[in-house]
Structure 1
Amino acid sequence: MTKIQNLSSQQRLRQLAKSQLGHEFIQSTVTHSHESAVPKQEQIAISNHSQLRHLTSQVTASNEQSNAVLQRAMRRQEMQLQRQQLNLERVLLLTQDMLPDQHSREEVDSDWFEHFCQLVQDISAAPMQKLWAKILAHEIQQPGRFSFKTLNILRQMHYRDAQALQLAASMASRLNGQQPEQIFFGYSMQASVWRWLQGKHKGVLNLSQHQLTYPDILSLVDLGILHQTEIETGALNRQQDLLFMTTQHSRQGRVLQAGLVLHYYKFTLSGSELLSLLNVLPEPQYWAALTSLLQDVIEFPG
């Protein structure tokens, strides 16, 4: 358990600075000038030799200060290189534990691996290191599985983004095997007077009730994991068979009325590549709510 320290804001700042810079804060060398108490006549009488000695001491102090700054900069750079090396080694060790004891016929592209190493050296969070290790393990077993674009997307992700991706993965499915995966959230019926009178021409599921908030969706869109716009299926036919396929199960359904249109968010190709890394179970409450929403327009056996 991490010990919680009760520190002031200044102490927090000094603590962060030391972890990044490798030293305590250097006290400001700027001093407030005070008006000299020496009479003006005596100031004029200062000898040229004294002025030269004063200037020399200033230059010496300036050089010493510059050397100290340079040493601190070199120390900071050294610490950064050490952190980057440790991050890379941790990911490689995690990858080693994930790889099965089997041969791979193809080699990983050298440019791909160099790019991978450049990106992963600045990843310090353990959950993200594990995700990067999974990518490398999969790439070693099946070279070409992950694109440069997918690596760049993952590099931009923070831990909260990864959590949003996991939530989205628990709601993802493939309708009749279509790729990439989709997240269904509503339906509408093609316009007719009778349907409007019935008042059952559309239905929408609030995904935020299942922890996938609209800001999370926008974040996944900005990262390039989801497409920017909501997408609709074409108008489905009456008695048309549907199959919602997830990583763990499939759910069959049959359209009850012609003109049904389903609404969904669609993963990009890079988003689909990232989904393959996640062993996420379908979110039962979401699927129960979606089934309940669609039961007036789709018949689900059982």
Structure 2
Amino acid sequence: MNNTDKDTKTDTKTPTVPTVKKEENINFTRSSQARTKELASYYAVSHLVSSDSDKDIAERTEYRQQKETQHEQENLERIFKLAYDSCSDERAGEPDPDWLYHFISIAKHIRGASMQKLWSRVLKQEIIIPGSTSLKALDTLKKMTQKEAQTFHRACMLTCHFGNDESKKLLTSIKVRHGALSLFRPPSSDKLALGSYQLPYSNLLVLMELGLLLRSELESGEINIESPLAFGYQDSRYLLIPTKKRVTLTYYRLSPVGQEIASLLGNKNHEPYRESLLELLAKHFIVEKNEGSQLNLAT
């Protein structure tokens, strides 16, 4: 097969923003005011909201900056503790000092627990394999909200790889081109509905905008009917033997930065998606386990 792509005070506790009690939602105007006041107090900018301080603006600024610095210290301590707890006796390398400076300059602003865990993985990987996470990947992570990170994680759970290329891809369809006698007949296409697995096209656009997913849908070369195609989904490995000629796969590929960040998340199986994926593949291929035994789709 030709797999060439074609363009078709210091505290170790995590600082927590105060939450709204459910009963406050009874009166929307009142609860929104209460919430605004809570946030203003938390971020030390409540002087005009509650007139609760006789300090001048210079003193209030100093207090806010001191509180912000404390939060940054807490964030970094938490991230380093998570990284420390996840490490064991792996051989360590020596991270680049400039990389560490850039990492700390960003990580100190990360407050959410799930995002702190992700940043601790970045740190751990860089300690074990220096140079494995680029500055561009750090800058991309910096731009990501928790919701966007969750979207990317869902996308990674649906990725596969095939051929000699281990890069992660989102399979979108299997196409079968017709013979020369049907020159003007469009190829038939069996599509994989990613939206059925909480990954609609609008989410793909978000990932493209973040630079995690290449914008163009790609198409593989025609799969050689005489040569099984290696295919992987998460930790599972298969061999695909085409049952017909002129079969191609269409897909979106993660960008180089997307590949870097995906490697931090590890493999996680999405069983309903795996079943649908194998059912689709079975329409056009004999699907075998990579060990050589034919896959029983009923299991």
TM-score by shorter chain over 0.5: yes
Deviation string for 1:97-143 (max 9, x for gaps)? 11113442x31100000000001011000000001001101110111
Residue 208 of structure 1 is matched in structure 2 by 195
Mapping for residues 105-254 of structure 1, pairs under 5 Å: 106-192=93-179, 201-254=188-241
| Structure with the largest fraction of strand | 2
1:9 equivalent to 2:29? Answer no
Q: Please give the alpha-carbon distance, in whole angstroms, between the structure 2 residues aligned to 1:124 and 1:79.
A: 14
Change in 2 beyond 3 A, CA 1:160/1:194 = farther
**Which SS does the other structure have where 1:252 is aligned?**
strand
Q: Please give the alpha-carbon distance, in whole angstroms, between the structure 2 residues aligned to 1:268 and 1:247.
A: 18
Change in 2 beyond 3 A, CA 1:69/1:247 = same
Q: Please give the alpha-carbon distance, in whole angstroms, between the structure 1 residues aligned to 2:277 and 2:220.
A: 16
Identity among equivalent positions (%) equals 29
Aligned partner of 1:99: which letter?
A: C
Shift of 1:158: 1.2
TM-score (norm 2): 0.80
Aligned residues: 263
Q: Is the 8 A contact 2:177 2:187 kept in 1?
A: no
**Which SS does the other structure have where 1:174 is aligned?**
strand
Cα RMSD (Å) of the superposition? Answer: 2.5
Q: Please give the alpha-carbon distance, in whole angstroms, between the structure 2 residues aligned to 1:69 and 1:294.
A: 66
Shift of 1:190: 2.3
Deviation string for 1:50-77 (max 9, x for gaps)? xxxxxxxxxxxxxxx9x71222222111
Deviation string for 1:248-272 (max 9, x for gaps)? 1112211122211101110111111
Q: Please give the alpha-carbon distance, in whole angstroms, between the structure 1 residues aligned to 2:91 and 2:240.
A: 42
Residue 260 of structure 2 is matched in structure 1 by 273
Structure 1: 5+ residue stretches without partners: 29-64
**Which SS does the other structure have where 2:235 is aligned?**
coil
Q: Please give the alpha-carbon distance, in whole angstroms, between the structure 2 residues aligned to 1:172 and 1:240.
A: 23
Q: Is the 8 A contact 1:190 1:235 kept in 2?
A: no
Q: Is the 8 A contact 1:166 1:280 kept in 2?
A: no
TM-score (norm 1): 0.79
Of 225-234 and 238-247, more deviation after overlay is shown by 238-247
Mapping for residues 29-178 of structure 1, pairs under 5 Å: 68-104=56-92, 106-178=93-165
Q: Please give the alpha-carbon distance, in whole angstroms, between the structure 2 residues aligned to 1:198 and 1:275.
A: 39
